[in-house]
A and B are shown apart, each in its own frame.
Chain A
Amino acid sequence: MVSIAKHAKEMFFGGTIVTILFFLVIGFMYPATNVDVSNGNTMPFYTDGQNIMGQWTHWFANLFFTGALLLLGKALYSTFLKMDMTEWNWFAFGSFLLFIYGLSSVASGLFDYNLFMIIGDLLLPIGLLLISYSVYKIYEPFEEA
């Protein structure tokens, strides 16, 4: 079996690029509907001829979150996963799902709003459950000692 640890860099960059391309493909298949545009949910966030500044803040906050999660994932991959620690694999996968959550929040401002909001809302609890399980598994040996 091929070890993840040996191909950490390829896994990280390949996985990130494939995910972003996948979101772009889904986005072009399901572009913003007329209802999204008239409600001001899609860029440039205009409704009744007025620009909604709060939507811009929301969009950039999500973009910043996605970027920060990418940085955290890079740090995890380049340190813990190289040592083949099983618990950290779950943590990295959880943070990857949170990255997808951020990506779908960003995509909801560009493409079909409802579709990407549903994808994000479903992936957020799964990612957080994985992270909480891995943090518990990392803490367990310390508790026994």
Chain B
Amino acid sequence: MDFILIKEAYIDPIYPIIAFIAFAASGWAAYNGYKLYNVTKGASDFWMFLSAFMGSITVYSGLLFARTTFLVEFEIPIKALQDLTIIAAAVYAALAAIYIKRMFDTLSK
């Protein structure tokens, strides 16, 4: 009975729309971030980690979109995958933070 209630909560059409906007925005950010990394020719590693962070968020919101539209019955495994991607995003965000500091330390020397 609880499982049916969870499924009904996600039928509201606003959730797929919100998830799709998040998916498109994060994909665009990851694409631009990766292009910036290529332009700087790897001079600033933090762009790599920042685009990896955005990429993980893209996968996360893509899974959210899939979970709320055509893969509703696979709710539990997709939620587990989302946890995995959000942990990856957190690791990349922390690495990007360290590399921003490192980049400014080398610039100020």
Contact = CB atoms under 8 A, between A and B. Distances in A.
B93 interface: yes
Given A64-B87, A121-B18, A139-B32, A128 B97 contact: no
A68 interface: yes
A131 B79 contact: no
Contacts of B79: 54, 58
Interface of A: 39, 47, 54, 57-58, 61-62, 64-65, 67-69, 71-72, 74-76, 78-80, 98, 121-122, 124-125, 128-129, 131-132, 135-136, 138-139, 142-143
Contact of B28 (A79, A80, A136): A136
Contact residues of B: prevailing secondary structure: helix
Contacts of B59: none
Given A124-B22, A132-B28, A142-B39, A71 B97 contact: yes
Contacts of B89: 65, 68
Nearest to A95: B93
Interface in B25-75: 25-26, 28-29, 32-33, 35-36, 39-40, 53-54, 57, 61
Nearest to B87: A61
5 contacts: A68-B90, A71-B97, A72-B93, A124-B61, A132-B29
Given A54-B79, A75-B100, A132 B26 contact: yes
A69 B93 CA distance: 6
Contacts of A138: 32, 36
Contacts of B28: 132, 135-136
Contact of A136 (B5, B32, B101): B32
Contact of A57 (B54, B83, B98): B83
Nearest to A78: B101
Contact of B18 (A39, A80, A98, A125): A125
